[in-house]
Amino acid sequence: MQVVGKMESINCFHCGEECVEEVIRYSEKSFCCTGCKTVFEILNSNDLSYYYDLENAPGISPKLREGKYDFLDNDEIIEKLLEFDHGESQIVSFTIPSIHCSSCIWILENLNKLHRAIKSSQVDFPKKKIRISFSMDELCLKELVLLLARIGYEPNISLENFEEEKKGVDRSLIYKLGVAGFAFGNIMFLSFPEYFEIREFWLEQFKHLFRWLMFSFSLPVVFYSGKDYFISAYKGLRSGLLNIDVPIALGIAVLFLRSTAEIAMDAGTGFFDSLSGLVFFLLLGKFFQQKTYSFLSFERDYKSYFPIAVTRITSENGNHSEEQVPVYKIEKGDRVIIRNEELIPMDAILIKGDASIDYSFVTGEAEPVTRLSGDRLYAGGRQQGGIIEVEALKPVKQSYLTQLWSDEVFSKDKSSAFQTLTNQISKRFTYAVLSIAFISAIFWMFYEPSKTWNVFTAVLIIACPCAIALAAPFTLGNLLRIFGRNHLYLKDATVIEQTAKIDTVVFDKTGTITTSERNSITYEGIELTEQEHELLNGSLRASNHPLSRALYKMLKKNNISTPDVFREHVGEGLETSTSDLCLKIGSAAFVKRNALVTGESDTREDQQKTSVHISANDQYKGCFSFHNAYREGLSALFEDLAKDKELIILSGDNDNERERLEKLLPASTKMFFNQKPGDKLQFVKNLQQQNKKVMMVGDGLNDAGALAQSDVGIVISEDINVFSPACDGILDARKFDKFPEYFKLSKGAISVIKWSFILSLCYNIIGLGFAVSGNLMPVVAAILMPLSSISIVGFTTLATQMLGKKLGN
Amino acid sequence: MSIIYMLLAISVVVALIFFVAFLVSVKEGQYDDVYTPSVRMLFEDELVKNDPEKNQPVNKVKSN
């Protein structure tokens, strides 16, 4: 019997995790597993130990599964994955979720030292991407991926990569901003002499040249940088909407036309400086609002989860052979092999093997269910255990889960339908400006007709709502960054405005308000003896089943005895024994078979709970039951939200947690159980038809429909690097208790925008005073416009920073 | 004073040169990833080793 005492906490030299199960000593360093040690060996023997000098314990423990990348032998898949393929040189890009520190960048950019076939590699840290240039003659794609996986940087290759269109990056905003900035600067220089209005001889001589130069600089500003405003205004008018771009486009057009007319008729210098400044500031606002989290994606669907290829069995003349085929080639009736940890990509019937399917993607319930030969398996399930053979019932795209994505909500653009605060105000603003322009024009027509045209255009120029258009982008852009620092990553700025309007919040249960770790267990039954306890620990340690690992982690470990006989029955349980003790650990059916059961047992309840049963020497002992642990601060959070919002729990699970939830949550919370993914979508839709603004908070693919349908869909994620379904925002699970704060901040942002509107209206009134009285000088416009814009930017920045302090970071 | 034509032409040309340089750098993707280069420049240069054995990278990967 091997006895291991309680260990002191030692952290792994490679990955920094605490060595819980074993400590491997190698070259005077400690490692938590052989995987970590192997990576160290590889790096050390290739002179790459600088990796460990850059950061403390930077590594990732490699988890490699046999045969996982066999599909990379398939030529069609290789062709799809390669970015460039010519002769001896190939280029491929991978997304590697585990990239997290400067050591990662260093090691991945020194891959050429690990294999001579790798020519160079470049990391894009924010996107967590690597681009490798290598030669396939010496190193095939599969070996390259295995090399990465072996040092802990396993690339993510999913069905999405297979379909990926090689699309270019959209840099048009940077170009437009560059053009506007360039023209703005130069026009400012050229118009400087005339600001002072000195009737000097040489100035008179050159002013025509200066003015026409300004005109030519302003051409790209109006027709390239500012073209989006004209397009958007046109689209708005066509759909009968007076959006903010209508007065802006009007302002730009009037500025340009009047300035051109002025210099053509030699009547003045024009407003080219204000024009280019206006466009430049507006684009700056747009640029600022465009905060993107390049390492996150808010547009994912099932394709990011599904495998790119599966193993198909073909039998010709009685000869069975296996081949890797892209999943789209799978047709009804094909036989497919699913290995441990692999995802079933289509609806199928189990033919052979012990299926233990984890449907957490589909239902949110992490507990594997056992299926027998002939049972139906649904797409999205993950096999846990041995190899199974299935027969496809439907092709991938027609499977139950994937069909959810054919619902129209997934093709609808949510943000376009939303009326932003700025657009709401712009309607009244446009009417007001137009009526002031006309009234003052009519007044001057009778008073001094020569000034009519001058005043009319001056009103439209000075009232151009530059400051109003900047208020929302800067406020929301700032808040977006503050949220990002506090681990709530939002897709874009309109989400904040939408959040401020939410009156109903729908929560998914499993994975959303519960943690994925099972950290509470209860034991029911006959007390285990010391000897039984020791053997139980020893047996659990040897098993790889997720429940065994979870239970082992939580049991007290005084002594551990290693079993002499150890047998694992896949999908059922463990059978272990020493000389005088025989334990059966596993499912109720497995343990109670041939066992003497004392006391009554409720089979219905047995099935509903996640539990591990134990019998010793064929005497039934009892069971360990796992409980979903609710996230910390859940009750307080619900209390807080319930004050002004309707709260609903929408769960795909059965209702055996209902009582516990009712105790935890405010009485007004409604609960619905056994909701399928389609039901959840419909449920949210019904709420919206009752004119409710719904936020859906979920975590898995099963919530995808509801997330897309809701006004704001937020995904709670334990690890933001793991992919989450399409949504409007991703919240780090550690910040779950801060959830109500985000609502308050969103509402605060709306009031900041409203205050900025009032501030910019003040500027407009001052400007209108000049315009209506008929003495708007270009220099006044050139001062007033940037001044109002800059003070709005300053005000919103300060105000949002104050708001952000409330979050207490 | 006609030198001002010359100066204007030069100043516009210089401005255009920088502007084109900006456009080229955007096009080449210099602004796509503004973070990684800041980390990369801090890596220390490596010592060149003359050990011939070490210069032959060991092929650690064998196909399964």
Q: Please compute the mean of the pLDDT values over residues A518-547 and round it to a whole number.
A: 76
Q: What is the pLDDT of residue B18?
A: 93
What is the predicted pLDDT for the residue at A224?
A: 94
Q: How far is CA A238 from the centre of its chain?
A: 34
Report d(CA A299, CA A713) in Å as an integer. 12
Pairing of strands A582-586, A610-616: antiparallel
Does the distance separating the beta carbons of A46 and B43 come in below 8 Å?
Answer: no
Give the residue with greater pLDDT, A266 vs A696: A696
Task: Assess B32–A contact: CB distance below 8 Å, yes or no.
Answer: yes
DSSP A724-735: --S-SEEEEGGG
| Of the partner residues A143, A174, A206, the one whose CB lies closest to the CB of residue B61 | A143
Q: How far apart are CA A124 and CA B37, in angstroms?
A: 9
Q: How many other C-beta atoms lie within 10 A of the C-beta of residue A17?
A: 16
Q: Which residue of A has its CA nearest to B63?
A: A143
Average pLDDT, chain A: 81
Question: Is it the case that residue A415 has pLDDT exceeding 50?
Answer: yes
| Distance from C-alpha of A751 to C-alpha of A773, rounded to nearest angstrom | 33
- What pLDDT was estimated at residue A632? 80
A719: burial class by Cβ within 10 Å (0-12, 13-18, 19+)? exposed
Q: Which residue of A has its CA nearest to B53?
A: A46
Contact A542, A746 (CB under 8 A): no
B44–A50: do the CB atoms touch at under 8 Å? yes
The three state secondary structure string of A592-610 is HCCCECCCCCCHHHHHHCE
> Does the distance separating the beta carbons of B31 and A171 come in below 8 Å?
yes
Under 8 Å CB-to-CB from A786, ≥6 apart: which residues?
A277, A281
pLDDT in tens, A688-719: 999 889 999 987 777 888 888 888 988 888 76
| Per-residue pLDDT tens over the stretch A479-511 | 888 888 888 888 888 888 888 888 999 998 877
**What pLDDT shows up at residue A223?**
94
Is ipTM beyond 0.90?
no
Is the predicted pLDDT of residue A65 greater than 80, yes or no? no
Of A461, A363, A433, A405, the closest CA to residue A700 belongs to A363
H/E stretch holding A322: strand A319-326
What residues contact residue A274 under an 8 Å CB cut-off, 6+ apart? A255, A461, A778, A781, A782, A785
pLDDT value of residue A599 = 52
CB atoms closer than 10 angstroms to residue A654: 12
Percent of chain A with pLDDT over 70: 87
The alpha-carbon gap from B59 to the nearest alpha carbon of chain A, in Å, equals 6
Cβ atoms of A631 and A734 closer than 8 Å: no
Q: Inform me whether the pLDDT recorded for A19 exceeds 80.
A: no
Residue in this structure with the two tokens 């009547």, named with its chain if needed? A267
Site from B61, B62, B63, B64 to mutate, A interface, most A CB atoms within 10 angstroms: B61
Q: Please, which residues have CB within 8 angstroms of residue A678's CB and are 6 or more apart in sequence? A: A404, A407, A705
User: Which of A50, A175, A186 is nearest residue B15 as measured by Cβ atoms?
Assistant: A186
pLDDT for position B55: 43
Query: A213 vs B8: CB contact, 8 Å cut-off?
Result: yes
Give the C-alpha separation, A297 to A85, whole Å: 27
What pLDDT was estimated at residue A3? 40
Instruction: Supply angle C-alpha A740, A743, A747, rounded to 5.
Output: 145
The per-residue pLDDT for A99 is 84
Q: Tokens 């059922």 label which residue? A: A572
Dist. CA A684–CA A697, nearest whole Å: 11
Describe the crossing of helices A272-289 and A245-264 by its angle, rounded to 10 degrees: 150
- Between helix A172-195 and helix A778-806 the angle, nearest 10°, is 130
Q: What pLDDT was estimated at residue A165?
A: 59
Interface residues of chain A, partner chain B, Cβ below 8 Å: 42, 45-47, 50, 54, 66-67, 102, 105-106, 109, 112-116, 123-127, 139-140, 142-143, 146-147, 150, 169, 171, 174-175, 178, 182, 185-186, 202, 205-206, 209, 213
pLDDT (tens digit per residue) in A753-808: 999 989 888 888 888 888 888 777 777 887 888 888 889 989 999 999 888 887 76
CA geometry: angle at A703 spanning A697 and A707, to 5°?
A: 60
User: How far apart (Å, rounded) are the C-alpha atoms in residues A628 and A550?
Assistant: 12
Predicted confidence band of residue A2 (pLDDT cuts 50, 70, 90): very low
Burial readout A660-670 (b: 16 or more C-beta within 10 A, e: otherwise): ebeeebeeebe
Contact criterion met (CB below 8 Å) for A348 and A340: no
Q: List the single range of A115-124, A193-202, A323-332, B33-42 with lowest mean pLDDT.
A: A193-202
- The answer to whether A281 touches A470, Cβ cutoff 8 Å, is yes
Q: How far is CA A37 from the centre of its chain?
A: 33
Per-residue pLDDT, A700: 72
Contacts A50 to B, Cβ<8 Å: 44, 46
* Alpha carbon distances (Å) from A115 to A103, A391, A438, A490, B60: 19, 41, 75, 40, 8
Compute the distance between CA of residue B18 and CA of residue A297 in angstroms, rounded to an integer: 35
Q: Please name every residue paired with A671 in a beta bridge, in sequence order, or none if there are none.
A: A649
d(CA A678, CA A361): 14
Contact state of B26 with A175 under an 8 Å Cβ cutoff: yes
Per the DSSP assignment, residues forming a β-bridge with A714 are A697, A729
Residues 6+ apart with CB under 8 A from A161: A80, A81, A308
Chain-chain contact of B33 with A126 (C-beta, under 8 angstroms): yes
* A171 contact residues in B (CB cutoff 8 A): 26-27, 31-32
Across the interface, of B5, B39, B60, the residue whose CB is closest to A102 is: B39
pLDDT of residue A12: 82
pLDDT tens for A225-248 read 999 999 989 998 898 878 888 888
The answer, yes or no, to whether residue A617 has pLDDT greater than 70, is: yes
Would the CB atoms of B40 and A46 count as touching at under 8 Å? no
**Per-residue model confidence as pLDDT tens digits over A372-395:** 888 888 887 888 777 888 888 888
Please check whether residue B55 touches A, CB under 8 A.
Answer: no
Instruction: For chain A, give the percent of residues with pLDDT over 90.
Output: 8
> Residue A576: how many CB atoms within 10 A of its CB?
25
Asked if A106's CB is within 8 angstroms of B43's CB, the reply is yes
CB contact (8 A) between residue B57 and residue A115: yes
Angle between helix A421-447 and A452-462 (nearest 10)? 160
**Does residue B43 sit at the A interface (CB-CB below 8 Å)?**
yes
| CA proximity to A262, closest of A188, A180, A191 | A191
Residue A145 pLDDT > 80: yes
Pull the structure tokens for residue A689.
């038809």
* A117: Cα within 13 Å, side-chain hemisphere: 18
Q: Is B7 at the interface with chain A, CB within 8 A?
A: no
| pLDDT at position A345 over 90 | no
Confidence of residue A571 (pLDDT cuts 50, 70, 90): low
CA distance A343 to A380: 6
Q: What's the pLDDT score for residue B61? A: 44
The alpha helices in A290-376, defined as continuous H runs, are 360-363
Under DSSP, is residue A259 helix (H, G, I), strand (E, B) or coil? helix
Q: How far is A122 from chain B (nearest CA, A)?
A: 9
Partner-chain contact A45 B49, CB within 8 Å: no
CA-CA distance, A378 to A67, in Å (whole number)? 23
Of A546, A550, A578, A574, the C-alpha closest to A562 is A578
What tokens were used for A785?
């416009």
Task: Give the chain B residue whose CA is nearest to the CA of A180.
Answer: B19
Instruction: Name residue A432's beta-bridge partners.
Output: none
Nearest beta carbon to residue B60 from set A42, A125, A127:
A42
Q: Beta partners for A567?
A: A575
pLDDT above 90 (res B24): yes
Q: Most distant CA pair in chain A: distance in Å? A: 115
Tokens representing residue A222 in the block: 């109006």
What is the arithmetic mean of pLDDT over A22-38?
79
- Interchain CB contact of B58 with A (< 8 Å): yes
Q: Is the alpha carbon torsion for A490, A496, A497, A500 positive or negative?
A: positive
Say yes or no for a CB contact (<8 Å) between B33 and A171: no
pLDDT per position as a tens digit, A161-204? 776 655 566 788 899 999 999 999 999 888 887 777 666 776 77
For chain A, state the CA radius of gyration: 33
Cα separations (Å) of A570 from A340, A370, A613?
11, 10, 15
Q: Which residues contact A287 (CB under 8 A, 6 or more apart)?
A: A173, A174, A177
Q: What is the DSSP string of A401-454?
A: HHHGGGSGGGTS-TGGG---HHHHHHHHHHHHHHHHHHHHHHHHHHH-GGGHHH
B46 and chain A in contact, CB less than 8 A: yes
List chain A residues with CB under 8 Å of B31: 171, 174
**The predicted structure's pLDDT at residue A4:** 42
Residues in chain B with CB shorter than 8 Å from the CB of A116 are 56-57, 59
| Chains A–B, number of C-beta pairs less than 8 Å apart | 83
* φ and ψ at residue A371, rounded to 5 degrees: -125, 145
